[in-house]
Structure 1
Amino acid sequence: MNTAAAQSVLFLSHGSPLHAMLDSDAARAWAKLGASLPRPRAIIAVSAHWNTGIPMLTGAEAPATIHDFGGFPDALYRLRYPAPGAPALAEQARGLLRDAGLTAGIDGARGLDHGAWVPLLHMFPKADVPVIQLSVQPELCARHHYAVGKALAPLVADDVLIVASGHTTHNLRDAFRRPDLLGQSVEPMPYVKAFDDWVAAAIEARRIDDLLDWTQRAPDALRAHPSPEHFLPLFVALGAAGDGVGVERFLSVFDGPALAMDSWRWTPAAA
């Protein structure tokens, strides 16, 4: 382990892919955040858009930019985020997961999907920080993802920035009732606001057990997340951050009426 200062742990709601091109609240917040962070030796991006049965890590030397979406302007598909990969870090992370009793694998061909590269495009626009991506397991529970985060926590003290990218709420059926509003901060639907408020209160009060049991305890949980993949990165962040850290909600907007874009930073006391 090196002697660099510990990094923060982040949970970002990544919003519409259009935020890669927009001068939006989220894009400005990501840019400001990136400028405020000490430069990490590498990034682990936990993306809601890579769903696997076991934790998987990217092992490519030069991961491609994946445009895993449709129906957007041509200019969006021309964007690239040519950050280098970090195969040695992928092996290190797999070892930590194995030591925690978690089977994990490495995919040497997969690139970075928009859950990773859209916010990183604003945070580190030079694309000069190595990035690996970590998948989520929608068939497994919040406690599994919390355990994944705890297993990777030593990397936070070893100058690795963990960027968990998902969404505070993610009901696309409700969101696309007004597709013209995606990418704009508007008044949320009542259940979206209720769920968002509950999550914020639980994070700020460090009610980890409530969060881990979110499907039973949060209001309108299954409407806020008809499928869990966009909420699961939060639990990786919570596990990696651990105890004794400061927590800050640095973005609280809504991407259209059904996508809450709360974003959080956990900062070690020494940072």
Structure 2
Amino acid sequence: MSRLPSVYLSHGAPTLPIDPSLPSAEFASLAQHLPRPRAILMLSAHWGTLAPVASTAEKPETIHDFYGFPRALYEIQYPAPGAPEVAQQAVALLAEAGIAAGTETHGLDHGAWVPMLLMFPHADIPVAQLSIQPRMDAAHHYKIGRALRPLRDSGVMVIGSGQITHNLRAADFSARPEDADPRVDEFTDWFEAKLAERDVDALLDYRRQAPHAVLMHPTDEHLLPVFSALGAADDDYTLEIQSLGTYQRSLAMTNYVFGGAN
């Protein structure tokens, strides 16, 4: 079996599946040229714990963890099977790396099911979630990704789901894509240049080195999953960038695929 890529997704607003002004079709296009995984291990910005926890749910519920949106959104179900054996594998790999992790039966939050619904609408790929640690730094999440790297050799795709820029206080929900704050591009250009250079040290120190880092991420839970996807990638990864534009003035939607050797 070929080694699978690892992926980072900017999952956008919960309304991504029902708002025609948002780039939902592009997620399907991305999935169509990725190798089909036998299972997915998802690290979403919307499940945070003090220490890593893997979900062993066999039939994870669809969690509607948002408020004030159209009724149609709350009626969406994503009945993908769980992947408890992948969750247990992840816990074992983390233990080998000296990272203690637990298990519980957790459902799929919108950071997981929204992009999965668009990419794999038949809900026929098992999905397990692994929590992030919002109180821990980028290096911690990179180390988690490094520990999970062997999963890619067994048909498991490691996916981090967040948002490459995420400052809701700076957002303007009536803004057009052309109204984007120019500082968004300055941040993402820096980040993508460092990804292309495979400059992991600079990326892990992004909060000090990247332009407008604190403005783009007042708290960094939506960026932390990219470091786990990066950690899970090969040292000599190839980088594919799917840029979908900037919405609500400050929320860039960019997806990254870290390819590996066959």
> Structure 2 CA distance, aligned partners of 1:107 and 1:81?
19
What is the DSSP-based 3-state SS (H/G/I as helix, E as strand, rest coil) of the residue aligned with 2:62?
A: coil
Counterparts of residues 47-196 of structure 1 (less than 5 Å): 47-108=44-105, 110-175=106-171, 178-181=172-175, 185-196=177-188
| Range 33-42 or range 73-82, more displaced | 33-42
Task: Decide whether the 8 Å contact of 2:3 with 2:261 is kept in 1.
Answer: no
Number of the residue aligned with 1:243: 235
What is the DSSP-based 3-state SS (H/G/I as helix, E as strand, rest coil) of the residue aligned with 1:139?
A: coil
Summarize the Cα distance change of 1:24–1:8 in structure 2 as closer, same or farther, 3 Å threshold.
Answer: farther
Number of the residue aligned with 2:225: 233
> Structure 2 CA distance, aligned partners of 1:241 and 1:51?
22
Counterpart check, 1:220 vs 2:212: yes
How many pairs were matched up? 262
Task: Decide whether the 8 Å contact of 1:29 with 1:251 is kept in 2.
Answer: no
Identity of aligned residues (%): 47
Give the letter aligned to residue 120 of structure 2: F
Once the 2 structures are TM-superposed, how far is the Cα of residue 157 of structure 1 from its aligned partner? 1.4
What is the DSSP-based 3-state SS (H/G/I as helix, E as strand, rest coil) of the residue aligned with 1:179?
A: coil
Stretches of structure 1 that go unaligned for 5 or more consecutive residues are: none
What is the DSSP-based 3-state SS (H/G/I as helix, E as strand, rest coil) of the residue aligned with 2:88?
A: helix
Task: Decide whether the 8 Å contact of 2:16 with 2:22 is kept in 1.
Answer: no
Give the letter aligned to residue 179 of structure 1: F
> Structure 2 CA distance, aligned partners of 1:11 and 1:71?
27
Counterpart check, 1:204 vs 2:196: yes
What is the DSSP-based 3-state SS (H/G/I as helix, E as strand, rest coil) of the residue aligned with 1:154?
A: helix
Q: TM-score, normalised by structure 2?
A: 0.96
Pick from 23, 28, 45 the counterpart of residue 31 of structure 1: 28
Deviations along 1:158-216, one digit per CA (max 9) or x if unpaired, are 110111101111000011xx2234xx634321222211111111111111111000111
Q: TM-score, normalised by structure 1?
A: 0.93
Give the letter aligned to residue 213 of structure 1: D
